[in-house]
Amino acid sequence: MKPSRLRMRKDSRSASSLSRCSLTTCRLPFPGPEAPVAFCRRYRIRAGQRQEAGLHHGFLAAMKGPRTRHGDGKAETAMHSTGVFSWASDLTPPRAARRPQTVTHHGFTETDPYAWLRDPAYPQVTDPAIRAHLMAENRYFDAVLAPLGALKKTITEEMRARIVEEDAGVPFQMGAFLYQWRYEKGSEHRRWYRAPLARPDDWTLIIDGPALAEGAKAFRLGGFAVSPDGRFLALTMDRDGAERFALVIRDLETGEEIDAPIPDTIGAPVFLETAEPMVAYLKLNAEWRPDRVMLHPLGRDPHEDALLYQEHDPGFFVSLAKSASRRFLVISSGSHDTSEVRLLEAARPDAGMRLVAPRREGHEYQLDHDGRRLVIRSNRQHPNFTLFAAGEESGEDGWEPLLSGDEDRYILDFAVFRKGVAVVSRIAGEERLEILAADGRLSSVSLPARGASVDLAENWEVDAPMVRIAVDSLGRPARVFDVELATGNSILRKQAPIAGDFDPDRYVEERLLARGHDGAGIPVTLVRRVDAPQPGPVHLYGYGAYGIAMRPRFSSHRLSLLDRGVTYAIAHVRGGDERGREWYEQGRRFLRQNSFHDFIQAARHLIATARARAGGITISGGSAGGTLMGVAANWAPELWAGVIAHVPFVDVLNTMLDESLPLTPIEWPEWGDPRRSKDAYRYIRSYSPYENVLEQAYPPIMVTAGINDPRVTYWEPAKWVARLRERRQDDNPVILKTEMEAGHAGKSGRYAKLEEIAEEYVFILACHGLVDGAPA
């Protein structure tokens, strides 16, 4: 969680709690600590924020047995069982009743026997038969993993032992105060403190995360803001995982809450610069879309709040932030590929808004204000974006280029200061920090590691002489640096602590380039122990959607895999933007299948280069990455030792046909609109995992869902699991766990998530035949 004065970047490459206000939508990567931290295009997450995570060298011979394959459109069937879950053959999985429902679109008729698993009362799930089926699935899930309980306990204890129980962020200035988050011993959630600049040791608790979370089904802080005079605090929080946040306002002098909580908000609120304290906030409609910006004068009835802006296009989401200069409220409307921005004087909300540039299909731009000019990141000149400078009243014809993107330079993020602009770009595949001085000189900052992720961190003061960044990679924990704008010299402020005997020199990172089915070069990054077997067990992660790069991130939890000899790899498939904007364009809509081919080719490359063996790769992905998992399981089951699909978007066709679902209209530009386009219908139908489950052998499959998840509804994974069990030609387990009191993010809290991660890890190790192994 961070305060609400946020950079107006659309493609920030970082993640944390939902504090970025800029909002569109997506089936974002499953936000568990194992997934590489990635930006969610529904909730614009501010740069620098971080997700809290955040063997014996054996190889199972049985995994080499005959598999079926799906190559040229024909399915071969064979009986196959890995034997790794031999005890599961004595267990009876739940069988969902078949209640066929038939629909016809564009002359194509589909029969769905499991459509009844969607409760007509959704988002309430009250149907006794549906709840009974989901609970039966949960019991089966537990029964299959029960024999691995001792290993699960061991791994949970290992992960917890690496957590430094008392930890704190680097203090940062915002206005007249320093702010800092802290974890205290035994606490699941952060506490936030502040101290006056004049008394930097006089810390006061302002947000007690553990207290706010008490009694909640699931808990997440959305974001917070402090009034210009420092007296009032506004924060948003979600207590059931449904992503409908409540806005709470507190008087920091008295500690009392003022006004009634305001429901159905999201993102971070923003205080105006008016004499009478006022806070602006986003309001969600019935479809979970933030479509309004409201203005609340403190002490007034929230029912009388004024409407500042409303977005009527169902394909656009609204975002809200304050400029770095604190002069403007910045109100943005955006879809996946189009945006427009309005400015409102923060001291004069009645003065009216100014439209910076009207929306034009395909034109994306974000901006900030440094006190004298606007700095704008726009793709109007090049798909990899250009930074422009413009006067406050300038039209588009007055935008002057500052730094141009090109085929090798992809401009990702920026932070404005009076002394210049800090820019994060991906140059020839490497993330770099550059300083664009006020006189136009561009200098590159030397970073401590190649192949690392670079994030702008807490940069709230436009007059600051330094920019704060965070740097990490697959093999080394995050480090926080302050970089002098004038010289480029860096000062290390913190390295994320890992308890125990962690030594980064035990691990090696590699960057590979696989050859795609059409000749494209597919980047693959991996980390392993120096002494890991080659070839050996590999776990491969993938996502590939929304232009979200799977950036290399460190996870202390992942050490429980690496230290048992498992190599962890990421396939940077098309649909992400690891190789620039065009890489994203080549993996969306009618080119969506490139993502799936890329993932399979990345796995084949690991095999061809003797890093893995066929049938010896476990894979995972979540949300839109769950689509990738479903297709990979259908197309190339012989490659996988096991599949893990977190909150998987596997019922793509039916969801894209149903405009009553909250996120469907804004998703049509990404996936295609099968209602209106026969071609889109046929293309989505050709790969949608649910429709394409085959009568063939599948590897063991683990699936998760959240009953309160508004992005990937619970019935998608439930239907997919039912169809897999109906058609598979093997004895391998297919297990489903639905969190009955959580949403897309699953359980909250730094310890509560450990059990979920340990379940995934023991599943991975079992699929590799390593359940008796101990860390090296």
Q: What is the DSSP string of 65-101?
A: S----B-SS-B----B--STTGGGGGS----PPP--E
Which structure tokens are listed for 203?
A: 């810390």
Residues contacting 491, CB < 8 A, separation 6+: 466, 481, 482, 483, 484
Cα Rg of the chain (Å, integer): 25
HSE of 178 in the Cβ direction (CA atoms, 13 Å)? 15
Which structure tokens are listed for 29?
A: 């990567």
How far CA 435 is from CA of 57, 399, 426, 472, in Å, comes to 46, 20, 14, 20
623 catalytic, yes or no? yes
> CB–CB of 734/725 below 8 Å?
yes
Closest among 322, 370, 328, 325 to 348, alpha carbons compared? 328
| 655: three-class secondary structure by DSSP | helix
Measured between alpha carbons, how far is 23 from 391 in angstroms, rounded to an integer?
26
Amino acid in position 196: P
Cα 724 to chain center, whole Å? 27
Which residues partner with 112 through β-bridges? 101
Measured between alpha carbons, how far is 65 from 57 in angstroms, rounded to an integer?
20
Contacts 24+ apart (CB under 8 A), 94-97: 94/133, 94/136, 94/137, 94/140, 95/722, 95/725, 96/133, 96/718, 96/719, 96/722, 97/129
686 catalytic, yes or no? no
> CB–CB of 488/471 below 8 Å?
no
Other CB atoms within 10 A of residue 302 CB: 16
Which structure tokens are listed for 207?
A: 């947000």
In 337-439, beta strands by DSSP E: 339-345, 353-357, 365-369, 374-378, 386-390, 400-404, 409-417, 420-427, 430-437
Active-site choice (70, 189, 646, 744): 744
Active-site choice (112, 709, 730, 748): 709
229 catalytic, yes or no? no
Bridge pairing between strands 567-571 and 521-529: antiparallel
Measured between alpha carbons, how far is 317 from 454 in angstroms, rounded to an integer?
27
123 upstream amide cis, omega within 30 of 0:
yes
Q: Which residues are catalytic?
A: 623, 709, 744
